[in-house]
Amino acid sequence: MSNANSAERVPTEVANSPVSKHNYQLFSNIRKPDLDDREYRLVTLENKLQALVISDPKTDKSSAALDVHVGHLCDPDDAAGLAHFCEHLHYYFEVSSEHLEGALDRFAQFFISPLFSDSCTDRELQAVDSEHKKNLQSDNWRVYQLEKDLSNPDHPYRKFGTGNLETLRDIPKANGQDIRKILLDFHSKYYSANIMKLVILGKESLDELTNWAVEKFSDIRDKNIEVPSFQGHPLTPAELEKQILVKPVKDLRHLEITFPFPDEAPFYKLQPSRYISHLIGHEGGGSILSLLKSKGWALSLSAGSSRGGINFEFFKVSIDLTEEGLEHYEDVIVIVFQYIDMIKKEGIQDWVFHECQSLASTSFRFKEKSPPSGFCSRVAGAMHQYAPEDFLSGPYLMFEFDKDKIRECLGYLSRDKFRLMLVSPSFDSTGWSKARYYGTEYTVEPLSENLKKALANSQPNPELSLPKPNDFIPESLDVKKAEVKEPLRQPAIIKETDVVRMWYKKDDTYWVPKANVWFSLKSPLSYVSPLTCTETRLYTDLLHDALNEFSYYAEVAGLSYSLENNTEGMVLNLEGYNDKLPNLLTKIVQKMAGLKVDPERFKFIKEQLTRSYKNWAMESPHQHAIYSTTYITQEKLWTHEEKLAELEGITPEMIQNFYPHLLEAMYIEGLVHGNVEEQEALKLLEIVEKAFSPKPLPVFQRWETMRTQVVPTGSSYIYLRDVPNANNLNSAIEYYLQVGDFTDAELRAKLSLFSQIGNEPCFDQLRTKEQLGYMVFSGLRKQTGLVGYRIIVQSERDPAYLESRVESFLEKMESVITEMTPEEYSKHQAALAAKLLEKDKNLGQESGRLWSHVNSRYYNFEQHVIDAKTVKEISQASMLEFYEEHIAVSSPTRRKLSVHIRSQKTGMVTGPEGEQVLKAATVLEGDEEIAELKAKWELGAGAVPVRPVQEFMKQ
């Protein structure tokens, strides 16, 4: 465990410092990770607001977050969603490090003297409503609200937290109330300095950050209010011993057992639920999941406590069931309680706690930096729950072992004090109730007498046992540190053959005992047809399943892996502590080379994949718009429907016969980055080569990449499809302008700069002013060989109308560019250059960036540096020329493709603006039309290294 900072423990009073008229107190004894070079100081202002200031001289981004400690449980009964509505106007920000002070000024004013102007209030009401409507077909949101709806009617947990136009406009209006006044009253009542927590992170010194916190936030009023807390629990005897049956939107079969649980914040140093969830949620041999899988009843399981609010938590056991598991759901529940009984009978094990404690300590000790905005937001929330010295460590460390407290909390997991939720599309919902806000179909029943009897009579189950001691806990955490004048900016090739290209870079920046490893296993057989694509996917899924009981121990110990299929083959990735990484890699590749397909497991893995392919149709409209644009512009993309058609006929024998051919001839390209020496990296490669011993691919196949269709110059296409989910209110559009060669640095930089200039005006026009929808995005679409600009909107409006508004915005961009002052233009250049040159925050970010360049086959590791330099050289006049050629609606040379995903519920009526859009374009509707079009279009260039490969070889 890391030592706390060497600073006095007792807060020191600072009275009227030379730079401040305010009094405040300081506290600096805050425990932090070993490698954290930032400085921390807690400042308690005169108004009792606590501010944690963080000095990080190396940061290129600054941030602040303020947690008001008030949520939707405090909403008035006649204005559901008020806290969420209020939050729509503030909370946190991130800026370039040189702009922190001005941003803090503006941020503080919201809490001192908020405007809540009428026009802003109306716009944000629409935004809240749009946000709610985008969630209407989300099973997660539907089930979450239903849990709340069916809780104790006298407890505020029952409230509808999101809000919509009905609850925030119509109901208050009908009651003769003004929502703006309600909002101001809510702010006046609850927004009090004494319960707020503020975090400020900047490159400035602690003293300067302290002065800013004091000067800018001391005027927030201290109303001396109590932190809102909630007595009792949302689940009382009236709600327990019930089962809620739910019909979902997607094809889901899910069982959730929920127990009332105490709020652990007052005894956070003990964290009893961590011990309990570690055991119930374990996936190794002898676990609940292992037994359920062997019976063919479950696909996955998770367990743990979740905080509902101050004074109450829930402990949940969530299980994804197979079709057979659904039929045996009561037997599944009995097994869960047999395991809980076993934990109680075995007694609280010292070694289990100390193993968890050791892993938690190691995780915190080597915790790396993360992006400032997310970090500040998390810490601001944590400040409400932990003592000042534990603001950073509280969520991670298990400080003290208290068997009695674990035993007491285990007692809450009682067979007569739980509620059951069962989700399945196969239920007959005739005569069921419909939930008010989401329309979720459900019914509530008492637990069956059979289940009660089975629970009362259940005996110990010999197939269940506690996990074994974890062999994957790292024994060596030594860091191979060396003096480095300048960190290397790219990896080097350490082995090159006709079968392998291996890249390597030793960590020279972060000095953590971790590594990230990738192997791209290129096998053209994997994507020859929808059949081979689906067989490859089944093979990877079966491997995950076969390895799970072994790899779960590694995951618990901070070492994980993934194996995914793609258009070129498969990608194997391992990340975590490097000490036992070779052990995990060896086991994975040996299993890959020698998999024996179990027909019983195959049946359930196939069922799971079938469900996944079918559920794609229920995804949100904007996801379908993005997917369809890729389908048209990518050289080859097998659809979920095509794969689903093949999946039905695939047998275990087919996979057993297929995968040896998949592995027979491959090209392996890998990267090792982290706390690994070169010889160790070569040994990792040797493990892979030895397991597969593949034949070399022909040279052409070795370097072949999936290319991109070139949209013809001067064209305007619209691809029109209905939203597959007939109940979804929203339509969507991806409006895509293909610009040109991805390897042209000047063109790439101009496009990036245009996107930077247009980002805020696009959001302001289409979302804030026109209120088209909650989801508005603009940015680059990058594909092999080609790059373009796109705008994505999800809305209740017809997609043809959305296109008319997108084009109206694009027309206005001409004046935005021409009327911009030279100073404003140079600010955009500087902002984009800063974004491109933003430092990696941790080993994982650098590894991911390096792998993206390796995997792209361009090997352009300096792209961000080149682009940042080029951006600064682009004149305003040349930016206008770029706009006129590639973006302007009137341009005869631009290349436009837009995908319209049209709601069957609200998007079938096209107004005059939309009709005009459709008339001006070539409208495509069927897959055959798309196939014919793609056959006519040219293909862009494949990926070619930006420099001769020999120049990347290790010298």
> Which residues have a catalytic role annotated?
87
Residue 696 CB-density burial (10 A; 0-12 exposed, 13-18 middle, 19+ buried): middle
Kindly list the distances between the CA atom of residue 485 and the CA atoms of 142, 237, 482, 515, in Å, as whole numbers in the listed order. 55, 67, 10, 22
- Reduced to 3 states (helix: H, G, I; strand: E, B; else coil), residue 40 is strand
What residue has token string 């009253």? 185
Give the HSE-up count for residue 145: Cα atoms under 13 Å, Cβ half-sphere.
24
* Rounded Cα distance, 864 and 836, in Å: 5
Residue 507 structure tokens: 């960590």
* Rounded Cα distance, 164 and 130, in Å: 8
Residue 312 structure tokens: 């109450």
Nearest to 788, CA basis, from 734, 853, 717: 734
* Rounded Cα distance, 459 and 778, in Å: 59
DSSP 6: S
Residue 913 structure tokens: 């603006």
The alpha carbon of residue 540 and the mean position of all alpha carbons in its chain are separated, in whole angstroms, by: 23
Q: Is 216 left (phi over 0), alpha (psi -120 to 50) or beta?
A: alpha
DSSP 467: P
Nearest to 345, CA basis, from 416, 443, 437, 279: 279
3-state secondary structure 716-761: EEEEEEECCCCCCCCEEEEEEEEEEECCCHHHHHHHHHHHHHHHHH
Residue 392 structure tokens: 């950073």
Instruction: Pinpoint the alpha helices (H) of 306-385.
Output: 323-327, 329-346, 350-365, 372-382
Residue 382 CB-density burial (10 A; 0-12 exposed, 13-18 middle, 19+ buried): buried
Nearest to 721, CA basis, from 951, 522, 534, 904: 904
Q: Which residues make Cβ contacts (< 8 Å) with residue 873, sequence separation at least 6?
A: none
Residue 156 structure tokens: 């505020």
Kindly list the distances between the CA atom of residue 696 and the CA atoms of 114, 325, 523, 681, 682, in Å, as whole numbers in the listed order. 67, 45, 10, 21, 19
CB 298 within 8 A of CB 311: no
